[in-house]
Amino acid sequence: MTPQTVDVLVIGGGATGAAALYDLARRGVRALLVEQNDFTTGTSGRYHGLLHSGGRYAVRDPETAQECIAENTILRRITPFAIEDTGGLFVATLDDPADFPAQWVTGCAAAGIPTEQLTPEQARAQEPALTPNITAVYRVPDASVDSFDLIHGFIAAARTYGCKTLIYHRVTQLIHEGDTIVGARLEDTRTGATRIIHAACILNAAGPWVSVIAGLAGIAVEVKFDRGAMIAMNMRWVNTIVNRLRPAADGDILVPVGAVCVLGTTSVMTDHPDDYRIEPWEVSKILNEAEAVVPGIRYGRALRAWAGVRPLYESPAAHHNDTAGRAVMRTFSVLDHAALHGVRGLVTVVGGKLTTCRLMAEQTVDVVCQQIGVTAPCTTAREVLPGATTRYHRLDQRLHRLEHGETPGELICECEMVTRPQIEQAIAAYGDQPVALDDLRRDLRIGMGPCQGGFCSYRAAAILQEVKGHSALETNRAFAAFVRERYQGVRPLLWGHQLRQFYLDELIYRRTLGLDWLTGDYDPHENVYAEGDHD
């Protein structure tokens, strides 16, 4: 085990960690990013896809509103490949507080958020599915952003400057020399192998896990975990982001992302950073609230539900024990542990929004650079990210490109129109590192369409086996793990068309392919998998 030395070790492969790696790279700092799973598997990969204009926070949280509109403009300029300019509407209905629109307009003006009042007729001409019970409506510069594309863009850009990454490596120990953190011990979560990284400073951008990392240094960082559920419908019921024009509440947003429409979100306090449960009341609440804005949507085909955990933070000076959920501000904090706790070599960033990830990275890297003696300024807001690759998640002209040979090769995923060469290219990008089918899902959207992997997953598993040389048992278990993960998100929504799709998928997996028997982890007498209860 030969120790590796870098200037800065970044912990966390979400939006903030990836943006921080890019910022460090542009300042000429040798940096390494480590992530305990794959990129975008935490909060950044479990959100609704909204690039905030700030309108949602204009009344309650003006600081976050100002940050959002400023960073909205910057991300549009530097990451256009990840953004669809859908625009946004804030819509008030007969059920919403009559005095709120005036408060909201005043708040937007104070935060610098441009608004344009529309008549209900103009709004319904733009989005015919909207309810006729509109009492007020405004247009704002919201947009749809694909977090998978965004984060891969930051990572690719950082690599062009020589920075590196390690996925599936968990930090198990921070190495001390007196009151200074000088490195970390990592464990490969797939092989169990360990390695040591020496660094002049560690940047803790681990999202909901920042308190775990800080705890390794003996520092208490109190994070509040706020779980939110979302639902993906199988088509774009709207082509513009639609927000309820009322105080923030459960189920008040519809976001067109790629080929689907995401409905969300809820707000439930939890005790765990990886609590991804979806409770029945959340599904009903989201669908009922969406129905009030887009009549008939609750009877549409819901593809899957998922949940993410927001890491919320209030400084001890502003902390109130009874503050929770939507009452906690959505701005971010940079914790310089040298100044706060007398521990050098560790800086933590916590809170914030995906929309503000670049700003969060800038202010955190400023503190890191002060500790390591680097004076180069931040330049990440100036130009389009270098090294950005072809975007697979685009909605427009996917079928045209496929039929005219612009995306050649055997079609593997009909729902998302993913071809064999694209899969092989994505696998090759991992180099010698292991690749899971779920990694390919995040890279290419395999299994995210209406069939939820019913037709493409076993094809992709076969390609992965061919390219990586896996054994039959390894492949079958990887395939089974992917199927179980897909089922966890489908299970809360099993009715109508999606229930029929599930029965077809089950027929393919269990009766045709015999997946339960191939993996050796299924008990036919109990009708459950041995490794956990998968029903």
And the tokens for 409? 């090769």
| Same domain, yes or no: 126 and 235 | yes
And the tokens for 526? 């109990």
Task: List the Cα angle 156/161/162 in 5-degree steps.
Answer: 90
| Same domain, yes or no: 181 and 276 | no
- Which residue, chain included where needed, has tokens 């009151």? 179
**C-alpha–C-alpha distance, residues 439 and 39, integer Å:** 8
Name the 3-class secondary structure at 16: helix
**C-alpha–C-alpha distance, residues 191 and 507, integer Å:** 34
| Same domain, yes or no: 164 and 137 | no
Considering the domain boundaries, does residue 435 fall inside one? Answer: yes
| Same domain, yes or no: 257 and 211 | no
Considering the domain boundaries, does residue 63 fall inside one? Answer: no
Q: What is the pLDDT along the chain (535 residues), one digit of tens a residue?
A: 678 999 999 999 999 999 999 999 999 999 999 999 999 999 999 999 999 999 999 999 999 999 999 999 999 999 999 999 999 999 999 999 999 999 999 999 999 999 999 999 999 999 999 999 999 999 999 999 999 999 999 999 999 999 999 999 999 999 999 999 999 999 999 899 999 999 999 999 999 999 999 999 999 999 999 999 999 999 999 999 999 999 999 999 999 988 889 999 999 999 999 999 999 999 999 999 999 999 999 999 999 999 999 999 977 765 445 555 544 566 899 999 999 999 999 999 999 999 999 999 999 999 999 999 999 999 999 999 997 655 555 666 677 778 888 888 999 998 888 999 999 999 998 888 888 999 999 888 899 888 888 889 999 999 999 999 999 888 998 899 898 888 888 888 887 888 888 888 888 888 888 887 777 654 444 444 444 333 3
Looking at 284, 309, 334, the residue that finishes a domain is 309
| Same domain, yes or no: 245 and 173 | no
Would you state the pLDDT for residue 330? Answer: 64
Would you state the pLDDT for residue 395? Answer: 60
Determine whether 526 is exposed, middle or buried from the number of CB atoms within 10 Å of its CB (0-12, 13-18, 19+). exposed
| Same domain, yes or no: 343 and 492 | no
Considering the domain boundaries, does residue 387 fall inside one? Answer: no
Would you state the pLDDT for residue 180? Answer: 97
| Same domain, yes or no: 472 and 426 | yes
Please provide the DSSP assignment of 189-215 as one string. TTT--EEEEEEEEEEE--GGGHHHHHH
Pairing of strands 268-270, 224-233: antiparallel
Would you state the pLDDT for residue 531? Answer: 43
pLDDT, tens digit, 9 for 90 and up, residues 2-50: 789 999 999 999 999 999 999 999 999 999 999 999 999 999 999 999 9
| Same domain, yes or no: 213 and 359 | yes
Looking at 309, 329, 353, the residue that finishes a domain is 309
| Same domain, yes or no: 324 and 191 | yes
Considering the domain boundaries, does residue 267 fall inside one? Answer: yes
Name the 3-class secondary structure at 336: strand
Considering the domain boundaries, does residue 437 fall inside one? Answer: yes
Considering the domain boundaries, does residue 233 fall inside one? Answer: yes
Would you state the pLDDT for residue 434? Answer: 82
Would you state the pLDDT for residue 518? Answer: 78
pLDDT, tens digit, 9 for 90 and up, residues 146-184: 999 999 999 999 999 999 999 999 999 999 999 999 999
Would you state the pLDDT for residue 404? Answer: 81
Return the CATH number at 290.
3.30.9.10
| Same domain, yes or no: 441 and 509 | yes
Alpha-carbon torsion 416, 418, 423, 426, what sign?
negative
Q: How many domains does the chain have?
A: 3
Return the CATH number at 328.
3.50.50.60
Determine whether 164 is exposed, middle or buried from the number of CB atoms within 10 Å of its CB (0-12, 13-18, 19+). middle
**C-alpha–C-alpha distance, residues 179 and 117, integer Å:** 57
**C-alpha–C-alpha distance, residues 19 and 14, integer Å:** 9
Q: Residue 13 CA to chain centroid, in angstroms?
A: 10
| Same domain, yes or no: 201 and 261 | no
Looking at 263, 279, 309, the residue that finishes a domain is 309
Considering the domain boundaries, does residue 133 fall inside one? Answer: yes
| Same domain, yes or no: 338 and 434 | no
**C-alpha–C-alpha distance, residues 303 and 11, integer Å:** 33
Considering the domain boundaries, does residue 254 fall inside one? Answer: yes
Q: Which domain holds residue 236?
A: 83-145+224-309
Element of type H or E holding 461: helix 457-468
